[in-house]
């Protein structure tokens, strides 16, 4: 049974940093695509970053150069390092997974497993 548990959210001022973690069970990183999504109030859930089974990464343009997605295979944990945070980064952040080798879908509907989310609030 797959379980994803996020942690690390909080409130920071603009320019600050946070590191989100997603503890994954029932998932083998070598055969799964892992992703971070976020959803701000009144907006659709959007893909922020993905990491393929082979380690290749994707970032949405708005976070390129500021966010880094990574995974610790022995710990079965996914991370999102967020630097130079902006008020527009304020959202609930979700960890997601789908069984896929060498591929990460763009559409959120293609991800089978989701965490409960962790709130990130950035004040100006």
Write the pLDDT tens digit of every residue in 5-16.
999 999 999 999
Report yes or no: 8 and 21 within 8 Å, Cβ to Cβ. Answer: yes
Q: Tell me, what DSSP letter sits at residue 102?
A: S
Q: What does the alpha-carbon distance between residue 41 and residue 43 come to, in Å, rounded to a whole number?
A: 6
pLDDT tens digit sequence for 64-108: 999 999 999 999 999 999 999 999 999 999 999 999 989 999 999
Looking at residue 91, its pLDDT comes to: 98
Mean pLDDT of the chain: 97
């Amino acid at each position: 049974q797959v379980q994803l548990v996020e942690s690390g959210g909080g409130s920071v001022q603009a320019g600050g940093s946070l590191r989100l973690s997603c503890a994954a069970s029932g998932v083998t990183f070598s055969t799964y695509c892992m992703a971070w999504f976020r959803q701000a109030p009144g907006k659709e859930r959007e893909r922020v970053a993905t990491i393929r089974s082979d380690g290749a990464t994707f970032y949405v343009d708005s976070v390129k150069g500021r966010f880094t997605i990574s995974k610790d295979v022995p710990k079965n944990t996914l991370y999102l390092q967020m630097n130079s945070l902006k008020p527009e980064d304020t959202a609930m952040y979700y960890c997601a997974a789908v069984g896929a080798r060498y591929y990460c879908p763009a559409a959120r509907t293609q991800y089978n497993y989701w965490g409960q989310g962790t709130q990130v609030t950035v004040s100006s």
